[in-house]
Amino acid sequence: MSEEYLLKATNISKRYGIIQALDNVDFDLLAGEVHALVGENGAGKSTLMKILSGIELPDSGTIEMDGKKVIIDSPRSALKQGISIVTQEFNVIPHLTVYENIFLGHEEIFDGNIILNKKEAVNRTLELLSLFGMEYQINPLSKLQDLSVAEQQIIEILKAVSYESKIIILDEPTATLTENETSKLFEIIRDLKAKNVGFIIVTHRFNEIFEISDRITVLRDGKLVISGCSIKEMDEQKLVRAMVGREIKEFYGQKNKQAKKEEVKPILEVKNLCDMYDFLKNVTFEAYPGQILGFAGLVGAGRTTLARCIFGVDNYKSGEVIVDGKMLKKYSPRDSIKAGMGLVTENRKEEGLFLDLSFLLNCVFTKTANQRGGILQHKKEQNDCYDIAERIRIRYGHLYDKARNLSGGNQQKVVLGRWMLTKPKILILDEPTRGIDVATKTEIYNIIYDLASQGVCIIVISSELPEILGICDRVIVMRDGAIVADMNISDASEEIIVGYASFGKAITAN
Amino acid sequence: MNEVANKVKYSKFKLIRQNYRSELGIAVALVFFFIVISIVAPNFATATNMANLMSQIAIIGILAIGQHFVIITGGIDLSIGNLLGLSAMTMALVMSATKNMYLGMLVALLTGAMVGLINGSLISLVGLPPFIATLGSMAVTRSVDYLLCNGRAVNITVPGFGKITSASITGAFRIYYVAIVVIYIIMSWVLSNTKFGRYLYAIGSNENAARIAGVITKKIKIFAYVTSGLMAAIGGILLASKLESVDPNYGTSYEMDTIAAVVIGGALMTGGKGTLVGTALGVILMGVIKNGLDIIGVSPYWQGFAVGIIIILALIIEKITNIKQKN
Please say if the pLDDT value at position B9 is more than 60.
Answer: no
Strand, coil or helix: A271: strand
Lowest mean pLDDT among A98-107, A441-450, A459-468: A98-107
CB contact under 8 A, A356 and B216: no
A353 to chain B: closest CA residue? B209
Chain B positions touching A365 (Cβ under 8 A) are 198, 202, 210, 213
Report the C-alpha gap between A226 and A213 in whole angstroms: 15
CB contact under 8 A, A354 and B206: yes
pLDDT confidence band for B4 (50 / 70 / 90):
very low
pLDDT for the residue numbered A249: 47
Report the C-alpha gap between A139 and A99 in whole angstroms: 9
3-state secondary structure chain B: CHHHHHHCCCCHHHHHHHHCHHHHHHHHHHHHHHHHHHHHCCCCCCHHHHHHHHHHHHHHHHHHHHHHHHHHCCCCCCCHHHHHHHHHHHHHHHHHHHCCHHHHHHHHHHHHHHHHHHHHHHHHHHCCCHHHHHHHHHHHHHHHHHHHHCCCCEECCCCCCCHHHHCEEECCEEHHHHHHHHHHHHHHHHHHHEHHHHHHHHHHHHHHHHHHCCCCHHHHHHHHHHHHHHHHHHHHHHHHHHHCEECCCCCCCHHHHHHHHHHHCCCCCCCCCCCHHHHHHHHHHHHHHHHHHHHHCCCCHHHHHHHHHHHHHHHHHHHHHHHHHHC
pLDDT confidence band for A510 (50 / 70 / 90):
very low
pLDDT for the residue numbered B303: 86
Mutation for testing the B interface, residue in A314, A336, A344, A356 having most B CBs under 10 Å = A356
Longest Cα separation, chain B? 71
Choice between A451 and B22, residue whose per-residue pLDDT is larger: A451
Report, as an integer, the average pLDDT of B113-129.
97
Chain B positions touching A313 (Cβ under 8 A) are 211-212
CB contact under 8 A, A350 and B212: no
Q: Which ipTM score applies to this complex?
A: 0.84
Asked if the C-beta of A389 comes within 8 angstroms of chain B's C-beta atoms, the answer is yes
CA distance A201 to chain B (A): 35
pLDDT digits 0-9 by tens, A175-219: 767 777 788 888 888 988 998 899 999 887 777 888 899 999 998
CB contact under 8 A, A351 and B19: no
pLDDT for the residue numbered A292: 94
pLDDT for the residue numbered A89: 66
Chain B positions touching A334 (Cβ under 8 A) are 214-216
pTM for this model (two decimals): 0.77
pLDDT digits 0-9 by tens, A428-448: 999 998 777 767 888 899 999
CA distance A89 to chain B (A): 22
pLDDT for the residue numbered B280: 96
Helix intervals (H) in A1-117: 45-52, 75-80, 98-103
Mutation for testing the B interface, residue in A304, A334, A427 having most B CBs under 10 Å = A334
Write out the residues of chain B at the interface with chain A, using a CB-CB cutoff of 8 A: 1-5, 8, 10, 15, 18-19, 192-196, 198-199, 201-202, 205-206, 208-216, 272-273
Asked if the C-beta of A350 comes within 8 angstroms of chain B's C-beta atoms, the answer is yes
pLDDT confidence band for B95 (50 / 70 / 90):
very high
Report the C-alpha gap between A407 and B48 in whole angstroms: 55
pLDDT confidence band for B252 (50 / 70 / 90):
very high
Rg (CA), chain A: 25
Please say if the pLDDT value at position B302 is more than 70.
Answer: yes
Lowest mean pLDDT among A8-17, A244-253, A338-347: A244-253
Percent of chain B with pLDDT over 70: 93
Please say if the pLDDT value at position A92 is more than 80.
Answer: no
Chain B positions touching A390 (Cβ under 8 A) are 1, 3-4
Choice between A356 and B144, residue whose per-residue pLDDT is larger: B144
Closest CB from B10, B195, B206 relative to A398: B10
Report, as an integer, the average pLDDT of A390-410.
85
CB contact under 8 A, A354 and B19: no
Q: List own/partner pairs for B124-130 with CB under 8 A and 24 or more apart.
A: B124/B217, B124/B218, B124/B219, B124/B221, B124/B222, B125/B218, B125/B222, B130/B70, B130/B74, B130/B75, B130/B76, B130/B77
For residues B79 and B66, is the Cβ–Cβ distance under 8 A?
no
Closest CB from B2, B196, B211 relative to A333: B211
Burial class (CB within 10 angstroms; exposed 0-12, middle 13-18, buried 19+) of B110: middle
Asked if the C-beta of A128 comes within 8 angstroms of chain B's C-beta atoms, the answer is no
Please say if the pLDDT value at position A108 is more than 80.
Answer: no
Please say if the pLDDT value at position B221 is more than 60.
Answer: yes
CA distance B324 to chain A (A): 14
Question: Taking the alpha carbons of A11, A14, A20, A21 in that order, is the dihedral positive or negative?
Answer: negative
Report the C-alpha gap between A185 and A269 in whole angstroms: 41
Chain B positions touching A354 (Cβ under 8 A) are 201-202, 205-206, 209-210, 272
Report the C-alpha gap between A48 and A22 in whole angstroms: 7
Residue-averaged pLDDT of chain A = 85
